[in-house]
A = this chain, B = another copy of it.
Amino acid sequence: METIRHSLAHILAAAVQELYPGTKFGIGPAIENGFYYDFEFSEIKIVNPKSKILNPKQIQNSKFQIPKLEDLPRIEKKMKELIKNNIKFKKKIVSKKEAEKIFKNQPYKLELIKELPGKKATIYQSGNFIDLCRGPHVESTLQLHSGQAKEIIDSFKLTKIAGAYWKGDENNPMLTRIYGLGFLTKEELNEYISRQKEAEKRDHRVLGQKLELFMFNEEIGAGLPLWMPKGVILRKVIENYLYQELTEQGYQWIISPHIGKLDLWKSSGHWELYREDMYSPIDIEGEKYELKPMNCPFHVKIYQTKIHSYKELPLKYAEFGTVYRYERSGVLHGLTRVRGFTQDDAHIFCAPEQVSQELTKLLEYGLKNLKAFGFKNFNIYLATRPEKYAGAEKGWQKATSSLKYVLEKSKLKYQLDPGGGVFYGPKIDVKVKDSLGREWQCITIQFDFNLPERFDINYIDQKGRKQRVIMIHRALIGSFERFIGVLLEHYGGALPLWLSPEQIWLVPVGSRHKKYAKEIGKRLCANSLRVKVKDENETVSKKIREGETQKIPYLLVVGDKEEKNKSVRVRTKGGDIGEVKLDKFIKDVLSKLNSRN
């Protein structure tokens, strides 16, 4: 398929060459699900097609014959014509000198030729279009409308146009990139397009704004989310749930500051091995402080306030700790890739003989926890030693084996992620698969034999001897930010009842029903339900539309009949389910809430 996609990129370039003479060509690879080609379109009415390289501003200001979205069907049509002409893809190896001659009007190709190792260059000719390319390609476009790929003519599609800096470097000129999708069958193409549309509808950045959950602001800074009132409710529901569950499991809670001396991060090894993820220091009275990228050293310092006996182990410290890690502004993405986020962090200090039991419990509960949020499918990874690491080879081997042992004992399928561990130890990562089949990292269970060594943390064993303690880092949801982003995409914003910031809207039919609506509202609130009485002077249908847009689980309409019968008319996302006695409604909703649906 990659070969076909790559050949489609060449055909796109060939079509552009015919329709837009004088165009300069960048590169055109196959990508996931399709292909693209980068072009520099030349000025209209070219007399001498000798082009100069323009910077983005100049491009904006000059009259270029750059195609627009509405021109793509014309290019697509030309591509289909070319395909039907059964054009051959002829490979030829030429000297660099020859290549330079062939591409004498193509400055980008000339640049690429210069960078080629050796003295030769491979070129592909297909019809009038020649490209500098290593291939491989289909033999002829005949292959694209016969045999296995016979549907290609209907199963590729040009989709968008975007600016792209030559070689991805913002100091280079901006070229015009045309993207295409390419699949073997029309069915696959359509399926992909509709999945994309669904994903766009579920984009948590769009939903977050529409549902007023969170926001970003350029004046505050990229990647620094602000939680709005409804978002805080959602976040607190999750926080309270985890707090209660983990407290019952014997976790103890900690709150640590957001900055700490740079020297602490030197002692911990972060400055040496994790500096790329850290921000520049703050100076306080001549000493340097760092925004915390992790909570670990603080938890270690609390562990160190006492001598711990084996009887106290495992000792589990948990914190909803907000950490700050450097991400390039280009890779930031809504809540799922941010610069400041709150981890559901914990550190488990235990004796070596407790390790496998603790790991097993962690994995088991972690998966159960994700299921409580509605995720059913997971991929599990065992990530091993990365290039930069702390600690001895032997420790890594031993820790990796314990993780492996636990996965196998628990009969969990897993994949290896070679080199994917953190600098301080190997880890197990669990990624959930959302309703569109996309993977998201949630659980992480990480060994740490760096900090116990560096901070010399111990416990006293049964025989009164000092022993090095084992430290396990773990997160169950990862961070509130990413997890809520994932939840929104998984549910397309229609969160389950227990997670919905607003659970019930009461819609009085007329002004005279407002009193009854408010009475019901009070009763529902007294049952700890999150309720809003919609008493604005607007039509019932407008309120219902708004409630549906806002993904409110229950819209209760009350008029004369409902008031008389002490009932409500219930609408859910499943539709109108008619009149229900208020008492029964409350009972049903509370039972649904208790089962976290």
Show the binding face of A for B, using Cβ within 8 Å. Answer: 212, 215, 217, 219-221, 224-229, 231-233, 235-236, 252-261, 263-264, 267, 279-285, 287, 289, 291, 297-298, 301-302, 305, 317, 322, 324, 326, 328-329, 339-340
Chain B residues lying within 8 Å of A259, measured Cβ to Cβ, are 221, 224, 291, 324, 340
Per the bound structure, the CA–CA distance linking A520 and B253 in Å amounts to: 25
Contact, CB under 8 Å: A302 / B257: no
Chain B residues lying within 8 Å of A229, measured Cβ to Cβ, are 252-254, 317
The contact of A302 among B226, B253, B255, B328, by CB within 8 Å, is B226
Contact, CB under 8 Å: B252 / A301: no
**Closest residue on chain B to residue A319 by CB atoms:** B232
Report the minimal beta-carbon distance from A107 to chain B, rounded to whole angstroms: 31
Report the minimal beta-carbon distance from A512 to chain B, rounded to whole angstroms: 21
Chain B residues lying within 8 Å of A282, measured Cβ to Cβ, are 279-282, 291
Per the bound structure, the CA–CA distance linking A255 and B238 in Å amounts to: 15
**Closest residue on chain B to residue A289 by CB atoms:** B221
Report the minimal beta-carbon distance from A436 to chain B, rounded to whole angstroms: 28
Chain B residues lying within 8 Å of A281, measured Cβ to Cβ, are 282
- 29 residue pairs from A and B, CB less than 8 Å apart: A215-B302, A215-B305, A219-B260, A219-B261, A219-B264, A220-B297, A220-B301, A221-B261, A221-B264, A221-B287, A221-B289, A224-B257, A226-B254, A226-B302, A227-B256, A229-B253, A229-B254, A232-B253, A232-B254, A232-B255, A235-B255, A236-B253, A257-B322, A258-B258, A258-B322, A259-B340, A279-B289, A280-B282, A284-B326
Report the minimal beta-carbon distance from A304 to chain B, rounded to whole angstroms: 9
Known: A229-B317, A279-B289. 8 other contacts (CB 8 A): A220-B297, A220-B298, A226-B256, A229-B254, A235-B255, A258-B322, A259-B291, A285-B329
**Closest residue on chain B to residue A257 by CB atoms:** B224
Report the minimal beta-carbon distance from A425 to chain B, rounded to whole angstroms: 22
Chain B residues lying within 8 Å of A228, measured Cβ to Cβ, are 254, 302, 305
Q: Which of A224, A301, A339 has the most CB of B within 10 A?
A: A224
Per the bound structure, the CA–CA distance linking A233 and B236 in Å amounts to: 17
**Closest residue on chain B to residue A220 by CB atoms:** B260
Per the bound structure, the CA–CA distance linking A585 and B280 in Å amounts to: 57
Report the minimal beta-carbon distance from A275 to chain B, rounded to whole angstroms: 14
Report the minimal beta-carbon distance from A484 to chain B, rounded to whole angstroms: 12
Chain B residues lying within 8 Å of A233, measured Cβ to Cβ, are 253
Report the minimal beta-carbon distance from A321 to chain B, rounded to whole angstroms: 11
Report the minimal beta-carbon distance from A23 to chain B, rounded to whole angstroms: 35
Per the bound structure, the CA–CA distance linking A297 and B219 in Å amounts to: 10
Report the minimal beta-carbon distance from A267 to chain B, rounded to whole angstroms: 7
Chain B residues lying within 8 Å of A302, measured Cβ to Cβ, are 215, 226, 228
Chain B residues lying within 8 Å of A280, measured Cβ to Cβ, are 282-284
Chain B residues lying within 8 Å of A220, measured Cβ to Cβ, are 257, 260-261, 264, 297-298, 301
- CB-based closest 4 A-B pairs: A229-B252, A227-B255, A224-B257, A232-B253
Chain B residues lying within 8 Å of A324, measured Cβ to Cβ, are 258-259
Per the bound structure, the CA–CA distance linking A261 and B260 in Å amounts to: 20
Q: Which of A212, A221, A291 has the most CB of B within 10 A?
A: A221
Report the minimal beta-carbon distance from A505 to chain B, rounded to whole angstroms: 17
Chain B residues lying within 8 Å of A258, measured Cβ to Cβ, are 258, 291, 322, 324, 340
Report the minimal beta-carbon distance from A488 to chain B, rounded to whole angstroms: 17
Per the bound structure, the CA–CA distance linking A212 and B227 in Å amounts to: 32
Per the bound structure, the CA–CA distance linking A339 and B287 in Å amounts to: 14
Chain B residues lying within 8 Å of A317, measured Cβ to Cβ, are 229
**Closest residue on chain B to residue A287 by CB atoms:** B221
Chain B residues lying within 8 Å of A291, measured Cβ to Cβ, are 258-259, 282, 291
**Closest residue on chain B to residue A536 by CB atoms:** B311
Per the bound structure, the CA–CA distance linking A355 and B338 in Å amounts to: 38
Q: Which of A225, A264, A285, A289 has the most CB of B within 10 A?
A: A289
Contact, CB under 8 Å: B226 / A257: yes
**Closest residue on chain B to residue A297 by CB atoms:** B220
Contact, CB under 8 Å: B215 / A227: no
Chain B residues lying within 8 Å of A212, measured Cβ to Cβ, are 305
**Closest residue on chain B to residue A258 by CB atoms:** B258
Per the bound structure, the CA–CA distance linking A255 and B326 in Å amounts to: 20
Per the bound structure, the CA–CA distance linking A279 and B77 in Å amounts to: 62
Report the minimal beta-carbon distance from A305 to chain B, rounded to whole angstroms: 6
Chain B residues lying within 8 Å of A264, measured Cβ to Cβ, are 219-221
Q: Which of A232, A317, A340 has the most CB of B within 10 A?
A: A232
Q: A229-B254, A253-B233 are in contact. Are A260 and B224 (CB under 8 A)?
A: yes
Per the bound structure, the CA–CA distance linking A232 and B280 in Å amounts to: 30
Per the bound structure, the CA–CA distance linking A224 and B284 in Å amounts to: 12
Per the bound structure, the CA–CA distance linking A220 and B296 in Å amounts to: 12
Per the bound structure, the CA–CA distance linking A500 and B283 in Å amounts to: 38
